[in-house]
Structure 1
Amino acid sequence: MILVLAGTEEGRKLSENLYKMGLNVMASVVSEYGKSLLDRKLKARAGPLNEKELGQLIEIHDIKILIDATHPFAADISRTAMKVCSEKKVRYIRFERESADVDLPGVIKVDSFEEARMKAEGFDSIFLTTGSRNLHVFSDLKERGKKLKVRVLPCSEVIKKCEELGFLPDEIIAAKGPFSEEMNYIMFRDFKAEVVVTKESGPTGGVLEKIKACRRLQIPLIVIRRPCLSYPVVVRNMEELLKEMGPEMG
């Protein structure tokens, strides 16, 4: 069986394409919401996986190939998957979305969320499009008199996390992207953002639309670079994946 860690839109499409090819495949996602986006006919499970749980999943389902299609910033699960695959003698293939060229005027590139926070602290009105996982890095800026607006997924657990960090209802935009250039422009403009913070999630994640919107408003965009991991095998598209999988498919 093939196990796909399907933490992205590409991962979900990949799982469904392999299933439609008649291959024995199972998709693993973190949330029930992510599972609901998959084809109901596709074998799937929901919930985070630690090292022990992933190892058990591989043994129970006799996994031969693991395809890691998690988000570029989900470095912990990628490290776990590589370690477990090495121990279990399972083939590991990283399916990585293309990166975007963000080396453009008005873009401030940083290597961590902490560095992004330091750069953002120089502005009074900060629009965060970094997701909910690392919001704690920025939340105390409110105590320093900074105005923050966060854009996150419209999931109850995500909104609850924002509230626990002290964000008020009018500081939260709960909506699912990716967003068009125009939608970004309207949101950034209406909040009177002086700076926007995002992750380098590639064209699929909408980073180019954010860059264009910020340029129209003449405000900087802070882009957090992807974590740099040493993947044993990386493919960028379906053709490369099938070639890498070879005769062992299914």
Structure 2
Amino acid sequence: MTLWLIGGTQESVALARALIPHQIPCLVTVTTDTARSLYPIAPTLQIWVGSLNPATIQSFIHEQSIHCILDASHPFAVEISQLAITTAQRHQIPYLRYERPEIQPSEPSNPSRSADAHGGSPLPTPDSRSADAHGESPLPTPHDLTGHRVLLTLGYRFLHHFQPWHDRATLFARILPSTTALEAALAAGFTPDRLIALRPPISAPLEKALWQQWQISTVITKASGTAGGEDIKRQVAQDLGIRLIVIDRPAITYPQQTSRIATAVDFCLQNFPPARDSTP
């Protein structure tokens, strides 16, 4: 029997490390070879690289002898979470979502509503339609980007929604240093001088320097929590007086969830009782 840990996040690496001492057979799924190198090497830990979909999930569950699912995927990775939930319900497999804590805007100033560096009116924050339960609905582009220098830190999958704005605003995008991300950004109309490929975490001084270098007046990001650098972006936006638009997390109903590593480990232990030592 195997635990399926849906990975690709900093939290999933921490969970994998926490599970190793308990000798629970664990299969971590990631989508890139780069992500594989983030996980420790251990006899009880396997890394599976690839993508799963409704056509392949059944064979995956049976071939890997999946007995329990711990979903530590990114908050915006709605497709794999929905697939895991449906599969768990169909096969009566225990499922737990590890959800990284959300960041609450500081008071009294809300960076997502702050005036921009030029004293302009704030942009409305996009609502939860930014990504529906299937991750398919188009991002509702803010209606007042005209004339602004905009930095997008949304991930390459969202960039094509902003393609119509290239002739009305100066758009920049920060992406991961991968061939897939670069190809998607170029296909979305971004020229090399408007792109920066950088892997998080990004410190506050570097974040501030990048925004100042490009003379950014609006930043659009996702509610990805502290692990995604959301807290740093909020602070830098306040320091520089730059509008920060935060895309809400998709609304997903998880059967059960936690934001505590210890609770997630306990869940796994409940479903994988430790082997008894038979040594006299």
The counterpart of 2:54, out of the listed 44, 51, 61, is 51
Select the structure of larger CA radius of gyration.
2
Secondary structure, counterpart of 1:27 in structure 2:
strand
**Cα contact 1:123–1:194 (8 A) shared by 2:** no
Question: d(CA) in 2 for partners of 1:27 and 1:94?
Answer: 14
Aligned position for 1:34: 35
2:211 counterpart of 1:195: no
Count of matched residue positions in the alignment of Structure 1 and Structure 2:
249
Equivalent residue runs for 1:98-109 within 5 Å? 98-102=101-105, 104-108=109-113, 109=125
The counterpart of 1:110, out of the listed 126, 129, 133, is 126
Equivalent residue runs for 1:91-240 within 5 Å? 91-102=94-105, 104-108=109-113, 109-111=125-127, 112-113=129-130, 117-119=141-143, 121-142=145-166, 144-240=167-263
What's the offset of the Cα at 1:17? 2.2
Please give the TM-score of this superposition, normalised by the length of structure 2: 0.84
**Cα contact 1:128–1:150 (8 A) shared by 2:** yes
Question: d(CA) in 2 for partners of 1:60 and 1:124?
Answer: 52
Higher-helix-fraction structure: 1
Q: Counterpart of 2:94 in structure 1: which amino acid?
A: R
What's the offset of the Cα at 1:63? 1.0
4+ runs deviating over 4 angstroms: none
Secondary structure, counterpart of 1:166 in structure 2:
coil
**Cα contact 2:3–2:68 (8 A) shared by 1:** yes
Q: Give % identity.
A: 26
* 5+ residue gaps, structure 1: none
Distance change in 2, residues 1:209/1:87 (3 Å): same
**Cα contact 2:156–2:185 (8 A) shared by 1:** yes
Q: Pairwise CA RMSD of aligned residues?
A: 1.7
**Cα contact 2:160–2:188 (8 A) shared by 1:** yes
